[in-house]
Amino acid sequence: MSTIDGADERAMFGQGPVVVFRWRNADGWPVDYVSSNVRDVLGYSPDEFVSGAVSYASLVHEADLPRVASEVTRASEAPVTSFEHEPYRVRRRDGQQRWFYDFTNVVRDERGRATHFDGYIIDITRWVHAEAEKQELERRLLHAQKLESLGVLAGGVAHDFNNLLTAILGQVGIVRRELDRRDVELAKVRHGVEQIDSIGKRAADLTRQLLAYSGRGSRVVEPVHLGALVREMASILDVARSKKATLHQQLSDDTPLIVADRSQMQQVVLNLLTNASEALGDKPGTITVRTSRAHFTARDLRERLDDSSDFAEGTYAVLEVEDTGVGMTEEQQRRLFEPFFTTKFAGRGLGLSAVLGIVRAHRGAIRTRSTVGRGTSFFLAFPAADVERVSHPPPLASPPLRGSGAILVADDESFVRRTLASVLGAQGFVVIEADNGAEAIARYREQRDSIVLAILDMTMPELSGVEVLRALRAIDPTLRVVLSSGYSDVAANLFDEQPTAFLQKPYTLEELEAVLRSVID
């Protein structure tokens, strides 16, 4: 009967999944001893290991062997008495690949040199596979949840856009019929056009919410005082809230400035107030909007913010919106920031999911607390800006743009090209159209002497706007190029080539003229 350190091998290790080894600290790790159950675990007899006929190192997976060897070397050279290997793969006699956990004691001589290793290995293949299956199930579940959210998102967007398009088409029909009459009433035509303009801006606002939700929205950042911003929105908030709601504003002048997009901050305030108003329903209640200055320590951040991992100790601007409404259940709170989720009815809009996207895009954090029957509170914190309060003078009115020469317009959407051709033609320019990137380069080669400017869509067939930009600049490095896209974040990712200006879709006539004027002048 074999023994190790006086223990009965048969009683301790004759059966079961734990295999005990002793090997020498020498080339090839020659084995002095291995428990008999190695035959069941690896398929080789103890004699095959002890005689050297089989090398344990030769059974370790070739991808894992260098790591296992380095772990042995580090343990031998360090003053440690034991160490654990990260799980590694071993090949059985029958060719099966198994995962092993390995714990080893280091035996040293009187000089402290490692002479032997006593340890045990355990086959953990079943646990490794179970963990892999668990991760795969979690991945599939997450994918299914994303698909479900996308389905809700697509349905909500289609609902909102169909309403907007119905209104646009209706107004267009009214204007067309009025223009067909001999006694045209210009007031009706103007009213219809103004309605189309207003509805179009609402559609543009919906796309901005979508971009905010995806984290790819446009942001024109400037110093913003949250208290002043809420005061400026007084009339809007008065219309948005329930008539039975009493609105209390507790706005501190000491609230620090933040660097933010003003319109997106307005959207945050409006969405939170709308949510609070709907929570009150038809019953009277109170909505409180509060701004303040706060200095958060690391402990404060952990306690007051749901996710404080990326926040540093310092001064923050705080925005709070509280209501005394119906409150939410735990399930409703878990789904609160899903797109188009509402406790009222389907298809409401992006709402709080857009708020979350905007807050994150501004490096802020949001905390929600709610109790059924007692109301809900939203606590938002934004890092204070290192700037002084500034005022912006109103922009001076600019005369209509007039120019000459040819402008290359490359866009795969024909209605965009036709609109630009009409607008730019009325301003004195000749418009050369291209519906893809390759055609844009060809048109420029043909008429480069007359082209003073190129307006390129970011995403086109054949070649992208960036690729066309590079090709045109290779022909003429001084060419003025305006890149246009529905995404604003692409302008910062153009590598070595930067456009002269960037124009985000959708844009108004005034915005187009302002960009062209700055480029041409």
Chain segment 432-471, per-residue pLDDT in tens: 999 999 999 999 999 999 999 999 998 888 888 889 999 9
Q: How many CB atoms lie within 10 A of CB 498?
A: 15
Say how far apart CA 393 and CA 390 lie, in whole Å.
Answer: 10
3-state DSSP call for residue 295?
Answer: strand
Q: How many CB atoms lie within 10 A of CB 418?
A: 14
Six token digits for residue 150: 């996308």
Average pLDDT over residues 271-300: 85
Chain segment 161-195, per-residue pLDDT in tens: 767 777 777 777 778 877 877 777 787 788 878 88
Q: 169-183: string of b/e by CB count within 10 Å (b at 16+)? A: eebeebbeebeeeee
Q: Please state whether the predicted TM-score (pTM) of the whole model is above 0.85.
A: no
Which pLDDT belongs to residue 394?
46
Structural contact between residues 347 and 158, judged by C-beta atoms closer than 8 angstroms: no
Cα 11 to chain centroid, rounded: 58
Higher per-residue confidence, 206 vs 448: 448
Query: Is it true that the peptide bond before 506 is cis, omega within 30 degrees of 0?
Result: yes
How many residues in total does the chain contain?
A: 521
Which pLDDT belongs to residue 382?
92
Which pLDDT belongs to residue 373?
85
Please give the helix or strand (H or E) that residue 137 lies within, else none.
helix 125-180
Say how far apart CA 313 and CA 307 lie, in whole Å.
Answer: 14
Say how far apart CA 418 and CA 423 lie, in whole Å.
Answer: 9
Integer angstrom CA distances of residue 193 from 146, 206, 229, 232: 40, 20, 31, 28
pLDDT reading at 78 higher than 70 = yes
Say how far apart CA 488 and CA 216 lie, in whole Å.
Answer: 7
Domain range 221-383, CATH architecture: 2-Layer Sandwich (3.30)
Higher per-residue confidence, 499 vs 129: 129
Say how far apart CA 517 and CA 420 lie, in whole Å.
Answer: 15
pLDDT band at residue 15 under the 50/70/90 scheme: low
Q: Torsions phi, psi of 309, nearest 5?
A: -65, -30
What count of Cα atoms within 13 Å lies in the side-chain half-sphere of residue 215?
A: 3
pLDDT band at residue 308 under the 50/70/90 scheme: low
Average pLDDT over residues 384-391: 61
Type of residue found at 294: A
Chain segment 235-260, per-residue pLDDT in tens: 566 656 677 788 889 999 899 999 88
pLDDT reading at 513 higher than 80 = yes
Which pLDDT belongs to residue 371?
87
pLDDT reading at 429 higher than 80 = yes
The ranges of the chain annotated as CATH 3.30.565.10 are 221-383
Structural contact between residues 405 and 451, judged by C-beta atoms closer than 8 angstroms: yes
pLDDT band at residue 500 under the 50/70/90 scheme: confident
What torsion do the CA atoms of 247, 251, 257, 262 make, to the nearest 10 degrees?
20
Most confident of 353-367, 411-425, 428-442: 428-442
Say how far apart CA 368 and CA 306 lie, in whole Å.
Answer: 8
What torsion do the CA atoms of 158, 423, 499, 403 make, to the nearest 10 degrees?
-170
Say how far apart CA 401 and CA 426 lie, in whole Å.
Answer: 10
Which pLDDT belongs to residue 396?
47
Average pLDDT over residues 387-405: 59
Q: Which fold has domain 3-123?
A: Beta-Lactamase (3.30.450)
Which pLDDT belongs to residue 348?
39
pLDDT reading at 143 higher than 90 = no
pLDDT band at residue 277 under the 50/70/90 scheme: confident
What torsion do the CA atoms of 47, 53, 57, 61 make, to the nearest 10 degrees?
-100
Higher per-residue confidence, 343 vs 401: 401
Per-position DSSP letters for 412-480, written without gaps between them = S-HHHHHHHHHHHHHTT-EEEEESSHHHHHHHHHHHTTTEEEEEEESS-SSS-HHHHHHHHHHH-TT--
Helices (H), 233-323: 234-240, 262-280, 298-304
Say how far apart CA 103 and CA 86 lie, in whole Å.
Answer: 9
Average pLDDT over residues 93-107: 93
Pairing of strands 406-410, 430-434: parallel
Helix/strand/coil (H, E, C) string of 325-377? Answer: CCCCCHHHHHCCCCCCCCCCCCCCCCHHHHHHHHHHHCCCEEEEEEECCCEEE
Name which of 133-147, 273-287, 486-500 the model is least confident about. 486-500
The ranges of the chain annotated as CATH 1.10.287 are 135-214
Q: Which fold has domain 135-214?
A: Helix Hairpins (1.10.287)
Six token digits for residue 32: 């002095």
pLDDT reading at 493 higher than 60 = no
pLDDT band at residue 3 under the 50/70/90 scheme: low
Domain range 406-520, CATH architecture: 3-Layer(aba) Sandwich (3.40)
The ranges of the chain annotated as CATH 3.30.450.20 are 3-123
The ranges of the chain annotated as CATH 3.40.50.2300 are 406-520
Type of residue found at 37: N
